[in-house]
């Protein structure tokens, strides 16, 4: 079995995307995926949360019409993790669900540790990481630091759409 990590990119980002940034963020995400595709990166893991994870999945599914080789993998923390979401958020998730090429559940037990397991799994299976990280705390910052610590190539789109480093 070959190591597919070099062909894999994970996506991580904040649940809250500032007003007006969704469209430019999706645009730079698509540009970055285009660059990665030219390097043979065809697998994209997303965490299934509201906000950036959902935006990334939608962008990847849009790109798949032009690049059918793209494979999108949903890595989620536990069954029912979306139970506290608003109705519109659950509906957006439900529409995306059948489009994923693979579903990976990392824990049978709900809780904070399941989210950390999901984030580590995304990074551990990837050589690249597309992030939308504009602050130094929270789950996204944890995932980006974990990716840096493990030598992953990180592309922080927050730098492109907000000017922040």
Tell me the pLDDT band of 138, cut-offs 50, 70 and 90: very high
Is the pLDDT assigned to residue 123 strictly greater than 80? Answer: yes
Predicted confidence (pLDDT) per residue in 145-159, tens digit: 999 999 999 999 998
Cβ neighbours of residue 102 closer than 8 Å, sequence gap 6 or more: 71, 73, 74
Record the pTM.
0.95
- For the chain, list the domains and their CATH numbers: 4-161 (3.40.50.450)
Whole-angstrom Cα distance, residue 17 to residue 135?
Answer: 12
> Is the distance from CB of 45 to CB of 126 less than 8 angstroms?
yes
| pLDDT tens sequence across 84-116 | 999 999 999 999 999 999 999 999 999 999 999
Confidence of residue 165 (pLDDT cuts 50, 70, 90): low
């Amino acid at each position: 079995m070959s190591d597919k990590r070099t062909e894999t990119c994970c996506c991580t980002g904040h649940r809250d995307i500032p007003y007006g940034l969704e469209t430019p963020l999706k645009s730079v995400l698509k540009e970055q995926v285009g660059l990665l595709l030219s390097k043979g990166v065809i697998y994209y893991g997303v965490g299934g949360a509201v906000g950036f994870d959902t935006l990334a999945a939608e962008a990847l599914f849009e790109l798949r019409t032009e690049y059918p080789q793209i494979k999108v993998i949903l890595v989620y923390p536990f069954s029912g993790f979306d139970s506290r979401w608003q109705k519109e958020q659950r509906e957006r998730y439900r529409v995306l669900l059948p489009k994923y090429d693979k579903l990976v559940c990392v824990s049978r037990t709900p809780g904070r540790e399941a989210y950390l397991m999901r984030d580590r799994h995304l990074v551990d299976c990837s050589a690249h990481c597309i992030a939308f990280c504009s602050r130094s705390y929270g789950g996204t910052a944890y995932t980006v630091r974990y990716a840096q610590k493990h030598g992953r190539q990180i592309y922080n789109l927050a730098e492109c759409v907000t000017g922040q480093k």
